[in-house]
A and B are shown apart, each in its own frame.
Chain A
Amino acid sequence: MKFAERFAGLIGVVLFLGLWEIAARFGWRNPAIMPAPSQAVWMALATIPPLTLIEHVAISLWRILAGFALGASAGVALGIAAGWYRPVALISRPFVEILRPIPPLAWIPIAIVWFGLGEPSKIFVIFLGTFFPVFTSATRGMASIHPSILRAARTMDVDGVRLLAKVAVPAAMPDIATGLRIGFGLGFGVLVAAELIAAGRGMGHLVMEARQLGQLGISVFGIFLIGLVNLVADQQLAAAIRRTVGRWHRF
């Protein structure tokens, strides 16, 4: 992105925060209900020790990465298998189609029963958020490989597992990469909900706990923080995709 375009985006952010700030400062709303952004940040930094803050971010990131790693591996592996082997598709498709529209949050009660109140239940919910978009994109990627690519490979005596590993999977990589990015975003999206499950730490916990204590400023700060961390993480993922698949595919 050009510098001028980035700058334009920055104007939008500054404008939005500025208006909010003014609205809150001039008593347009009760600060206990709608604190100004500057008050929110100041309040959070004054109340929460820096190390605790880092801990909140780190534990959330760890849960997301664990849930994402599991969901992405399962989604990619199963999606590729379903996109390539017809029996796998016939068996897994209806099953996935039934579960896919269910919001990951609906699983929280079941997750607690299955996995308890510790880390596994939170990771499970993020796993669900990640798995389905990754699975769907991988399957679609495999199904939409240009037939000439597979034919050309067969004229080179490439078939069987080699055809799958050396030709079909690389050909489906752009769709798989897109699925990973969508899956990561959705996994992050269910984080706050996952951390409602009796979490003692984490960014989602920070938001909820502050609200219960009536420190709405800290909740607002927590939401900013989640957005910011997500933005940075997503940028890293996008950059990794650009460096690999992006070298030969225009997204």
Chain B
Amino acid sequence: MAAAIEIGGLAKNFVNDAGPPVLGAVDLTIAENEFVVLLGRSGCGKTTLLNIVAGLEQPSAGIVRVDGAPVTGPGAGKGMVFQQGALFPWLTARRNIEFAAVNRGVASEAAGKLADELLALVGLAGSEHKFPFELSGGMQQRVAIARALALDPKILLMDEPFGALDEITRNEMQDELLRVWAQRRKTVVFVTHSIWEGLILADRVLVMAPRPGRFVLERRIDLPRPRRRSDPTLVALYDEIWTCLRGEP
């Protein structure tokens, strides 16, 4: 399988930050259409890593390649879903999605069609004319996912997209995301604090430790989806990951 994302010797120090590096020489190769989950406690550098892959932040050392080409800046090949608050509040759900499509060069009529299609895909047909403040947190994140998909990116970067949701909505959103992912295969890098979320979603889970940010555990999960939390393999993995996270200083 071809590598979609290659990260080599990636390090990051913030200018006015005297502590140990936020990321220290991280290596990671992600295959095309792979669903990778990054797990780790707050402050271990997950967002920083994701922002560098997205081209929103410059690394201090090392390189990121997407489809073999070095990342030099943000671009429509890389869609991103943020934790919350990233929708444009002055645009309706539909216009938020159209905005993204138009910026990758889709004609405005086709963009409208695409927006309707994506709204239906994320289960929001009928809410297209609502503004973000009129949508629940879960619905807002569905729009955010649809908007990222409107860029037709090869890779989808998700930074705790369900972190602000209640558990019931969160579980539903995980199912939704897997359904969408099954229809539109993408390479996904998904950041979360929730071990269970990682286990339900991932092809591969990477556990990070802080300062310097690095991977301390890597587990491949070959179980078919949808997965059940009672699955003995997952229960064992949960214990292993929890022990690893708790063991950190």
Contacts and interface: CB of A to CB of B under 8 A. Distances in A.
B86 A154 contact: no
B89 A248 contact: yes
A156 B89 contact: no
Given A152-B80, A156-B100, A146 B133 contact: no
Nearest to B147: A152
A224 B51 CA distance: 59
B49 interface: no
Contact of A155 (B83, B132, B133, B151): B151
A250 interface: yes
B79 A155 contact: yes
Interface stretch (A106-114, A165-173, A185-193): A165-173
Given A170-B90, A248-B90, A157 B104 contact: yes
Given A151-B80, A173-B90, A156 B85 contact: no
Nearest to A152: B86
| Max count, chain A CB within 10 A of own CB: residue among B51, B74, B80 | B74
B238 interface: no
B78 interface: yes
Interface string A18-46: 00000000000000000000000000000
Interface residues of A, number: 20
A148 interface: yes
A152 to B, nearest CB: 4
Contact of A156 (B91, B104, B133): B104
A173 B148 CA distance: 24
Contact of B82 (A152, A156, A247): A152
Given A156-B104, A157-B103, A149 B86 contact: yes
Contacts of B56: 151, 154-155
A204 to B, nearest CB: 38
Contacts of A2: none
B80 A155 contact: yes
Contacts of B76: 155-157
B88 A149 contact: yes
Given A173-B90, A247-B131, A157 B74 contact: yes
Interface string A131-167: 0000000000000001011011011111000000011
Given A148-B84, A170-B88, A249-B133, 13 more contacts: A148-B85, A148-B86, A151-B82, A152-B86, A155-B79, A155-B151, A156-B100, A156-B104, A158-B103, A167-B88, A248-B131, A248-B132, A250-B133
27 contacts: A146-B85, A148-B84, A148-B85, A148-B86, A149-B86, A151-B51, A151-B56, A151-B86, A152-B80, A152-B86, A152-B147, A155-B54, A155-B56, A155-B74, A155-B78, A155-B80, A156-B99, A166-B99, A170-B90, A171-B89, A171-B90, A248-B90, A248-B91, A248-B131, A249-B89, A249-B90, A249-B133
